Amino acid sequence: MRIKKNDTIQIMSGKDQGKSGKVLKVFPDQGRVLVDGLNMVKKHVRPRKQGQKGEVISIPRPLNVSNVLLMCSSCGRGVRIGVREESGTKIRFCRKCQKTL
């Protein structure tokens, strides 16, 4: 997984194609990421207690990482990233402008 929590990503497919958002959570074992405000799904909630109303809430659903690209601040859009090792630490970089991300 090259996407980490708090990354800003852009969605490349589906109904939110082209939109960007912040990664709230990653699910490495499923290869999915949860992005704030994107891939929203309406969920109907039943009243649990007496006097409480049932309502429709919108919640974000996890997206497959293969459908998202990391945003590059200099390119201003989602880009393919590469990983290289520099003095023992892995560094992600933009394949387009070589900027470290």
Which spans of this chain sit near Zn ion (rule: CB under 5 A)?
72, 74-75, 94, 96-97, 99
Q: What is the closest distance, in whole angstroms, from the C-beta atom of residue 98 to Zn ion in the complex?
A: 7
Nearest to Zn ion of 35, 81 (CB atom): 81
Nearest to Zn ion of 19, 99 (CB atom): 99
In angstroms, rounded to a whole number, what is the distance separating the alpha carbons of residues 18 and 59?
19
Locate 59 and state its tokens. Answer: 């919640």
DSSP code per residue over 32-88: EEEETTSSEEEEEE---STTPPPEEEEEE--EEGGGEEEEETTTTEEE-EEEEEETT
Q: What is the closest distance, in whole angstroms, from the C-beta atom of residue 34 to Zn ion in the complex?
A: 24
Nearest to Zn ion of 1, 97 (CB atom): 97
Q: What is the closest distance, in whole angstroms, from the C-beta atom of residue 101 to Zn ion in the complex?
A: 8
